[in-house]
Amino acid sequence: MNPSFLSVLKELDPRTKLLGLVVLLSEALFVAALARLPEGQVIWGLLMCVVVLLATVVALVRIERKTEATAAARRNQSSAAAQNVEILPDRREFYTRIAPYYDQRNTSSLLETHRAVITEVSEMLDDRGSLDVLDLGGGTGRLIAAQFFRERRLRWTYIDQSPGMLEQFMRNLETTALRSEIILGDLNNLDQLVTGQFDIVLLSLVLTSLPDFPDFTRMATHIRPGGRLIVADIDPAYSAAHPVFAVGTDNLAVGLEVIPRHPLDVIDRITRAGLKTINTHSIFRSDGVRYSYLVVAEKGADEDALLCGHAPEAVAK
């Protein structure tokens, strides 16, 4: 039996419990009586059957109403809890406020998403021997960058616009062998923050936090020929159903309104930026919920020549 149904049964008022007991006893009596009924009195047996059935229906309707009332009470409780979330329109402020709590919250819920990103980076590292990674909106780094803590074959360039996140990143990475460059800044100003090109440009769980799509064409100029853009983000249906990313802090919960980003929109834009999608799939949480997606795109060997001096539309494929 469903556990919520059992918990509702426990909460039933005494009158409903009594009714349930009467129904059960009547059914037991009926089964016993039916076997002993003389021929010709079966009609009475059937009538009794109808009475027992009606009584059962009445009891079930009452239980059902109680179930609904309990569920409605729970829904009200959660919307009341949601009302206690302070929505922060300023993304920098939001991420700085949640930075000390981010790792704690994300170890379970985002595990599979981070695992998918780590697998992509690891496989590419094994293939190529060494990698320059540009991690845009790198957050605390605990679940991606820090997983490569022994890796001297990686150079990790980190950009985040939240000073709180950057501080956590430095704390999480301070004892690792990973060579990193840490930059505080807005990923939309990429050209002012980094020069040169990278084997991987990583955007993990950043798109839903940005008010607009970033300029993938500019981003592509920072990818080496043969290099890859790895994008991981929350499934748009999930974001639409959970429009506020709420995180509890010591005082109260703070929230950020997220913007659902469809993987096909991401693919369209990175294709227009001259990159070729080579891998994309959904990521399911351990409880079976479709939670996020991964898109991996590669830059062809001759894309730099194409991109140089052309407007994004000119390289649309």
Ligand X SMILES: C[S@@+](CC[C@H](N)C(=O)[O-])C[C@H]1O[C@@H](n2cnc3c(N)ncnc32)[C@H](O)[C@@H]1O
172 binds ligand X (CB under 6 A): no
120 binds ligand X (CB under 6 A): no
Please calculate the CA angle 58-61-65 and round it to the nearest 5 degrees. Answer: 140
Closest residue (Cβ) to ligand X?
139
186 binds ligand X (CB under 6 A): yes
Which is closer to ligand X, CB of 59 or CB of 159? 159
Question: Shortest gap between Cβ of 285 and ligand X (angstroms)?
Answer: 15
Nearby residues of 36 by Cβ (< 8 Å), 6 or more positions away: none
137 binds ligand X (CB under 6 A): yes
Question: Shortest gap between Cβ of 136 and ligand X (angstroms)?
Answer: 6
260 binds ligand X (CB under 6 A): no
160 binds ligand X (CB under 6 A): yes
Q: Which residue has the tokens 């970033």?
A: 214
Window 201-220: residues binding ligand X (CB under 6 A)? 204-206, 209-210
Whole-number Å distance between alpha carbons of 4 and 10: 10
- Give 312's DSSP letter: G
298 binds ligand X (CB under 6 A): no
What is the enclosing helix (H) or strand (E) of 79? helix 42-83
- The encoded tokens of residue 202 equal 């990583």
168 binds ligand X (CB under 6 A): no
The strand pair at 223-234 and 244-248 is best described as unpaired
Which is closer to ligand X, CB of 139 or CB of 263? 139
Contact predicate 179/146, CB 8 Å: no
Which is closer to ligand X, CB of 172 or CB of 209? 209
Contact predicate 266/236, CB 8 Å: no
Tell which residue, 269, 279, 277, has the closest CA to residue 316: 269
188 binds ligand X (CB under 6 A): yes
Strand partners, 136: 159, 203
Question: Of 133, 165, 178, 270, which one interacts with ligand X (CB under 6 A)?
Answer: 165
227 binds ligand X (CB under 6 A): no
List contacts with ligand X (CB under 6 A).
91, 95, 137-139, 143-144, 159-162, 165, 186-188, 204-206, 209-210
